[in-house]
Amino acid sequence: MEIAEFQRVIEAIYGARDRARGLPATHMWFGEEVGELTRALRRNRQDELEGEFADVLAWLTTMASMSGIDLEQAARKKYGAGCPRCHATPCTCP
């Protein structure tokens, strides 16, 4: 699944609920999911990592949608030519 498709899927599933909740409260949920990912990483819980990474991506995606950001376009614009500072792949920044 490409980023733009994922953003459309998340918007279709959760868009109305997320807009009703608002960006500040949605950001709080995002922070909670990042915390769950952090715990899974610290505990090296491989059985939990896939789901936690997916949850963080979903909450990040919904916040981008709520902010009017096309996540795929934003990623391409910032990282499409390599490192944003040195423009190399891999990065050669000191």
Domain count, the chain: 1
Q: Is residue 86 part of a domain?
A: no
What was the pLDDT predicted at 51?
Answer: 96
What was the pLDDT predicted at 42?
Answer: 96
Q: Is residue 84 part of a domain?
A: no
What was the pLDDT predicted at 34?
Answer: 98
Identify the domain containing residue 18 by its residue range. 3-79
Q: How confident is the model at residue 16 (pLDDT cuts 50, 70, 90)?
A: very high
pLDDT digits (tens, 9 = 90+) for 31-88: 999 999 999 999 998 989 999 999 999 999 999 999 999 999 999 999 999 999 999 9
What was the pLDDT predicted at 78?
Answer: 97
CATH of the domain at 73: 1.10.287.1080
Comparing CA positions, the residue from 55, 11, 9, 17 lying closest to residue 36 is 55
